[in-house]
Structure 1
Amino acid sequence: MSPRNLLSDPAWQGSDLGHPLPDSPHAVSVALPRWRDVIAYEEKDPACRDALKTIYPRFGLHPLIRELVQPSELAGTTVWPYPTEAAAQAALTHCQRKAPESRSELIAIAGVCCLRSDAAASPHAKAFWQHTGLGLSSRQAAIALGKEAAPSSTSGEAARGVIRERLAGIHGVDAQQISLHPAGMAGLHAALSAIQTLRPGRPTLQLGFPYVDVLKQPQVVFHGGELLQPQSLAEVEATLDQLQPAAVIVELPSNPLLRCMDLPGVSALARSRGIPVIADDTIGTGINLNALPYADLIFSSLTKSFAGRGDVMAGSVLMSPQSPWADSLLKAVPDVTPLSDADAIALEIASRDVLQRVPQLDANALLLAERLEAHPAVERVLHPKSCPNFCALMRSGAGHGCLLSFELKGGQDHSKRVYDALQISKGPSLGTDFSLVCPYTQLAHYDELSWAEQCGVPADLLRVSVGLEDPEALWMRFEQAFADEETGETLKKPLTTG
């Protein structure tokens, strides 16, 4: 059977609950087609969880990974596989630090080094797995299970070389300044580890509303992380002097508000105090933004727009040649878990069209943002075009990224009905060639909705990653969802895209 074409046949109906997005054994997203499915997922409803044929790899154990480790899960324990002994040892050390009375151990399963933790340590083992992204990939699990053949190390190394050269061409740097990792958060882990050699034992300072794991990783795994949503550079300056952080972390732009800090201003303040700046350009992409003069380290989730397929996890770290600490940071980036051969080969193939695909995603997202802004049902649209600080970093002829967020007039009831009626695949992640929508705040901050609301991120916000569908056909899906919400009727026949 051919894989489902999500551009023309999106996973949007109740019967699609749990469908992998895309239709691949290594899919990183999963369909949550109705608002109530999202709530059931967050509430850990067994019926919903049992329906999921996959899961975002950092948020739990992928089915292939679960198949690998389940036979070794003793009563009251969980097992977490890692691709290297160094990564598994780091997870064990974390559990021992967080729960010193607990019992955890390293075991081998089919040649894979795993952390087995008891009930007391398991929450910490899960947190380390989620926040760092250092765990075994689904492709590595498939190889360990004998379901897929292991590629040659020569092929893997060749693919990693091509990827580094591709990224180097995008950023205009030497390929030796780029390292590859098994996830975007693993890239952040490498960056934070390198920073510790410069400013050990210090917390980080994150500016702007955070992607949850970008904030949680320094808080939970390293030496703490403070969050500041400043109104002025003077506020940033005062906090730098008071906190003396290990580094400043910024997102270009933030998720889901799609705003940027004044990066040149922040960089000047930080560097004058000997404090490096770490930037996450996953959403904006290096194709669109030039942050190198101002960021000392740039990490990115290559899972997203760089790959574009939604079926391979990867991340990168770039050392800015213009950083005053360029040489020392480059030497300090650890190689705890390199990007695996199988994942590197898949990523190299997926990213071959990145220079053609990303501008089209950007253009489609901009057009949809403009149309949503003009629609009477829409209260507010969030898109980087409205952020002067983002625009100041843009390369000549660049776009704004594939992401937008919007709120509807009438609050959460309206958002629920429009979400349910939208004939677009629904699930987490972004940057895929097919559009994805999710009620972002419900997924990322379900247990802290009031806090998110105070930060300007409402519970009814819908986030859209815009794909390569025909823009007119995509807009028709939105118009139909708005019309369905207004009339209270549900479309009987699905729209199709040619």
Structure 2
Amino acid sequence: MSERNLLQEPCWQGSDLGHPLPDHPHAVSMALPRWSDVIAYEEHEPACRSALQTIYPRFGLHPFLQELASQVNSEGIGVWPFASRAAAQAALLHCQRKSPQSTLRLVDQQKISCLCTDAAANIHAKAFWQHTGLGASSRQAAIALGHELAPAPNQGEQARQRVRQRLAAIHHCPEEHISLVPAGMAALHAGLEAVQTLRPGRPTLQLGFPYVDVLKQPQVVFHGSELLRSTDLGDIVATLDRLDPAAVIVELPSNPLLRCVDLRAVAELVHARGIPLIADDTIGTGINLEALPYADLVFTSLTKSFAGRGDVMAGCLLISPYSQWTSTLLEAVAPRASLSDADAIALERNSRDVNERVPRLDANCLALAQKLETHPAVKRVLHPKDCKNFQALKKRGAGDGCLLSFELHAGELNAERVFDALQICKGPSLGTSFSLVCPYTQLAHYDELDWAEACGVPAHLLRVSVGLEEPNELWSRFQEALAHATDQPKV
């Protein structure tokens, strides 16, 4: 059976609940086609959860990983398969710190290292799994179970070399400055471990409203993190001098508000104080942005726009050749797990067209943002084109990324109606060749909606990753959905 063409036949109706996005054994997203499905997913309602044919890899065990875990005689509660023995050992040490009296053990199941936990430690193992992205991949599990054949090791290394060459050309940095790891959050983990060698035991400082796990990982796994929402340089100076952080973390741009700090000015402030700067360019992409002259470390989820298909998890950490700590960081960066052979091969294959595909995604996103701004039902559109700090980092002729967010007038009333009627795929993730929409705040901050609202991220915000659909066809789908909004203001 051929894969479903999600450009022409998106998963948007109730009957599509739980369908993998894309229609592939290693899909990293799943369809949550109605607002009520999103709520049911967050409430862990059995009918919704049982309908899921897969799950976003860091938020739960892929079916192959569930099968592998079921074979382990855990003698306890939790079984967490990791991408490497070193990653599993790091998880064990984390659980020991959080729950010293717990019973923990490592078990190698079909060459995959699993952490087995008791009830007290299980919540900490789950948090480490989610926040660090160091879990075993679905391809690793499929090979361990005998469902798929393992590639020859030289094929995996050749694929990693080609990916590093591709990334080096995009980012204008040496290949040896690039580490390939199982996920974007695993890249952040490697970066945070490295900066601890420079400034041990210190918390980090996050500037601007963050993607949930970019903030949670240093808070939960390392030595804490403080969030500063203000982008005022005076406020940043005061916080730097008070906190004296291990590192400052920024997103280029932030998710889902699509804004960023004045990176040049922030870099001057932090470097004058001997503090390294870590940047996440997943949304802006290295194709569009020049971040390495300012950030000492740049991490990226290659799962998103770089791979573009939504069927492989991967991340990279780049060490800036301009950093005052380049040589120290090159010695210090030692990821707990490398990208597996099978995942590297899939990533290399998927990213061959990245230099042609990303500009098309960017152009389609810009066109949709401009049209949404003119629609009477739309209250606000968030897009990097309106952020001068983002624009200042762009390469010549570059785009703005494939992501936008928008609010509707009478948002709480209309967001559900428009979302349910919108005929594009609905689920988490971004950067795919097919468009994806989700009620972002509900998915990322369901248990802290009031906090997110106080940070300027309303519960009814809709986030759209724009794909390669024909732009006029895509706009017609949005027009049809927006017609379901009521109480539209007179124009």
Q: How does 1:316-465 map to 2 (within 5 A)?
A: 316-465=316-465
Query: Secondary structure at 1:358's aligned position in 2?
Result: helix
Would you say 1:79 and 2:45 are equivalent positions? no
| Residue deviations 1:143-165 (CA, integer Å, cap 9, x gap) | 00000000011000000000000
Give the paired residue count. 488
Question: C-alpha displacement at 1:428, in angstroms?
Answer: 0.1
2:485 & 2:51 partners in 1: Cα distance? 27
TM-score calculated relative to the size of structure 2? 0.98
Question: C-alpha displacement at 1:71, in angstroms?
Answer: 2.9
- Tell me if structure 2 keeps the 8 A contact 1:421–1:485: no
Would you say 1:63 and 2:63 are equivalent positions? yes
RMSD, aligned α-carbons: 1.1
Question: C-alpha displacement at 1:292, in angstroms?
Answer: 1.2
1:114 & 1:409 partners in 2: Cα distance? 49
TM-score calculated relative to the size of structure 1? 0.97
* One-letter amino acid of the structure 1 residue matched with residue 393 of structure 2: L
* One-letter amino acid of the structure 2 residue matched with residue 333 of structure 1: V
* One-letter amino acid of the structure 2 residue matched with residue 358 of structure 1: V
Question: C-alpha displacement at 1:323, in angstroms?
Answer: 0.5
Alignment correspondent of 2:32: 32
Would you say 1:183 and 2:183 are equivalent positions? yes
* One-letter amino acid of the structure 2 residue matched with residue 308 of structure 1: G
- Tell me if structure 1 keeps the 8 A contact 2:204–2:248: yes
Query: Secondary structure at 1:72's aligned position in 2?
Result: coil
Alignment correspondent of 1:109: 109
Identity %: 70
* One-letter amino acid of the structure 2 residue matched with residue 363 of structure 1: A
Question: C-alpha displacement at 1:442, in angstroms?
Answer: 0.2
Alignment correspondent of 1:245: 245
* One-letter amino acid of the structure 2 residue matched with residue 147 of structure 1: H
Alignment correspondent of 1:263: 263
Question: C-alpha displacement at 1:420, in angstroms?
Answer: 0.2
- Tell me if structure 1 keeps the 8 A contact 2:404–2:463: yes
- Tell me if structure 2 keeps the 8 A contact 1:73–1:79: no
* One-letter amino acid of the structure 2 residue matched with residue 274 of structure 1: G
1:134 & 1:357 partners in 2: Cα distance? 28
Q: How does 1:142-291 map to 2 (within 5 A)?
A: 142-291=142-291
* One-letter amino acid of the structure 2 residue matched with residue 353 of structure 1: D
- Tell me if structure 1 keeps the 8 A contact 2:83–2:182: no
Query: Secondary structure at 1:226's aligned position in 2?
Result: strand
Query: Secondary structure at 1:317's aligned position in 2?
Result: strand
* One-letter amino acid of the structure 2 residue matched with residue 32 of structure 1: L
Question: C-alpha displacement at 1:75, in angstroms?
Answer: 6.4
Alignment correspondent of 1:473: 473
| Residue deviations 1:164-183 (CA, integer Å, cap 9, x gap) | 00000001111111110000
Query: Secondary structure at 2:464's aligned position in 1?
Result: strand
Question: C-alpha displacement at 1:485, in angstroms?
Answer: 3.6
- Tell me if structure 1 keeps the 8 A contact 2:231–2:261: no
1:283 & 1:83 partners in 2: Cα distance? 25
- Tell me if structure 1 keeps the 8 A contact 2:207–2:231: no
2:237 & 2:243 partners in 1: Cα distance? 10
1:412 & 1:318 partners in 2: Cα distance? 41
Aligned structure 1 segments of 4 or more residues deviating by more than 6 angstroms: none
* One-letter amino acid of the structure 1 residue matched with residue 424 of structure 2: I
Alignment correspondent of 1:496: none
| Residue deviations 1:277-327 (CA, integer Å, cap 9, x gap) | 000000000000001111000000000000000000000011111110011
Question: C-alpha displacement at 1:190, in angstroms?
Answer: 0.5
Query: Secondary structure at 1:120's aligned position in 2?
Result: helix
Would you say 1:92 and 2:63 are equivalent positions? no
Alignment correspondent of 1:491: none
* One-letter amino acid of the structure 1 residue matched with residue 222 of structure 2: F
* One-letter amino acid of the structure 2 residue matched with residue 463 of structure 1: R
Query: Secondary structure at 2:380's aligned position in 1?
Result: strand
| Residue deviations 1:55-90 (CA, integer Å, cap 9, x gap) | 000001001100111132646511001132111110
Alignment correspondent of 2:53: 53
* One-letter amino acid of the structure 1 residue matched with residue 156 of structure 2: G
1:117 & 1:433 partners in 2: Cα distance? 39
1:446 & 1:465 partners in 2: Cα distance? 20
Alignment correspondent of 1:492: none
- Tell me if structure 2 keeps the 8 A contact 1:362–1:401: yes
1:411 & 1:313 partners in 2: Cα distance? 33
1:429 & 1:218 partners in 2: Cα distance? 22
Question: C-alpha displacement at 1:399, in angstroms?
Answer: 0.2
Query: Secondary structure at 2:120's aligned position in 1?
Result: coil
2:415 & 2:367 partners in 1: Cα distance? 21
Question: C-alpha displacement at 1:51, in angstroms?
Answer: 0.3
| Residue deviations 1:226-250 (CA, integer Å, cap 9, x gap) | 1001141011011111100000000
| Residue deviations 1:105-153 (CA, integer Å, cap 9, x gap) | 1112112111000111000000000000011000000000000000011
Any unmatched runs of 5+ in structure 1? 489-498
| Residue deviations 1:381-414 (CA, integer Å, cap 9, x gap) | 0000000000000000000000000000012120
